[in-house]
Amino acid sequence: MRKATVLAMCAVLAILSAGIPAGAGETIELKWYQPEPAGHPWTDVGQLICDEIDRVSNGRLKLIQYPAGQLGSQLEALEMLRVGSLAFLTSGPAVLNSFDERVQVFGIPYLVKSREHAYRIIDSKTGQDLFNTHVLQRSGVRTIQFWFFGTRTLSINREVNTPADLANAKVRCMDMPIYKDSVASLGANPTPITFSELYLALQTGVVDGQENPISTIYAQKYFEVQKYIVLTNHIHHMGTVHVSEMIWRRLAEADRKLIMDVFDKFRPVIDERIEKDTMEKLELMKKGGTRIITPDVEAFRKHSLDYMMGIYGEKWGDLIKAIQALE
């Protein structure tokens, strides 16, 4: 049997396994991969979205969440989207890096000014061309929403007010060039450490600090082994909601609109819950003895953008200029 025929048969079987029936008007089940556990704003609001889609479709559309990465890794989930055995995936822009490296542009510190700026980017022709033309054509994965995850900031075992204070400081980063460059642009020495090993690395001094949203710093208890939180607020960390184009195109246009309307309705709810959780967790850590520093953010912004533009300014210049024009 030819390889193309085998792949076609696999695709058909995958669609059927995703729960989309052949008959019009029947119940349609759509599987949704969530990386975060129950209790996280993404997952909790995700359930509200599932319930609302069920309600407004009179039970005909069933969006079913699988939280805490139950279905495997995010890269595995991405492949499931591509063959149609999974309908939705919550992840981040960088998961699509292999299809177009420019999706990493959101990892440049201080380039995206706010979550509202990020929303303007994804809703613009520039954002849609990047995600739903270039990436979509190569991957078979559509991006339907940006979700706010929090503002990345620094925790460390030294007092820091300017980039110069980070000289020789080992700060954890993910093992990808954009993330190494991002940490280096703040003035630190980027040190790749896997996420699961980070607490021990901070505790034993393998690294001096790390950068993540406040909610993550609290959830992972990094404050137990870090003296300071430095509010650099260098990246507005955005998640992305992706859908299998194979499945999306089999849905009626009215059903696609219904789903999009519900996602749009609940995006502000995610924003509110992330903000509330951030303020609550920051206050709890402060009461527990963690020192909160408001540094010279403008010094960090200039240092970081000068550094990053020296690397990516020509490489991704047109995209960066388009993003800046949307401020």
3-class SS string, 93-136: HHHHCCCCHHHHHHHCCCCCCCHHHHHHHHHCHHHHHHHHHHHH
- Which parts of 7-68 are beta strand (E)? 28-33, 61-66
Q: Are 218 and 290 in contact (CB under 8 A)?
A: no
CA–CA dist 184, 163 (Å, integer): 10
Which two structure tokens, joined as six digits, stand for 133?
A: 């033309």
Domain ranges (residues) in the chain: 3-149+238-278, 153-236+280-325
Q: What is the pLDDT of residues 103-124, one digit of tens each?
A: 999 999 999 999 999 999 999 9
Q: What is the pLDDT of residues 160-175, one digit of tens each?
A: 999 999 999 999 999 9
CA–CA dist 32, 227 (Å, integer): 38
Instruction: Report which of 1, 6, 71, 59 is spatially closest to residue 32, judged by C-alpha positions.
Output: 71
Q: Are 146 and 118 in contact (CB under 8 A)?
A: yes
* CATH assignment, 3-149+238-278: 3.40.190.170
Sign of CA dihedral 32, 35, 36, 41: negative
Q: What is the pLDDT of residues 173-209, one digit of tens each?
A: 999 999 999 999 999 999 999 998 999 999 999 999 9
- Decide if 3-149+238-278 and 153-236+280-325 have a common fold: yes
Helix, strand, coil share of the chain (percent; to 5): 55, 20, 25
* Chain-centroid distance, C-alpha 223: 23
Q: What is the pLDDT of residues 279-318, one digit of tens each?
A: 999 999 999 999 999 999 999 999 999 999 999 999 999 9
The phi-psi region of residue 28 (left if phi > 0; otherwise alpha if psi is between -120 and 50; otherwise beta) is beta
- How does strand 141-156 pair with strand 291-293? unpaired
Sign of CA dihedral 228, 91, 128, 174: positive
What mean pLDDT, rounded, does the chain reach? 92
Q: Return the pLDDT at 169.
A: 98
Which residues, in sequence order, are bridge partners of residue 147? 239
- Largest pairwise CA distance in the chain: 67
Q: How far is CA 82 from CA 140, 145, 205, 239, in A?
A: 6, 18, 41, 19
- How does strand 61-66 pair with strand 28-33? parallel
Which two structure tokens, joined as six digits, stand for 227?
A: 């003296």
Which two structure tokens, joined as six digits, stand for 92?
A: 């981040």
Q: What number is the average pLDDT over the span 134-141?
A: 98
Q: pLDDT-based confidence at 11, cuts 50/70/90?
A: very low
Q: What is residue 146's three-state secondary structure?
A: strand
Residues 6+ apart with CB under 8 A from 151: 213, 214, 233, 235, 236, 237, 278
Which two structure tokens, joined as six digits, stand for 13?
A: 């079987």
Q: What is the pLDDT of residues 223-278, one digit of tens each?
A: 999 999 999 999 999 999 999 999 999 999 999 999 999 999 999 999 999 999 99
Q: Return the pLDDT at 25.
A: 65
CATH architecture of 153-236+280-325: 3-Layer(aba) Sandwich (3.40)
CA–CA dist 97, 283 (Å, integer): 36
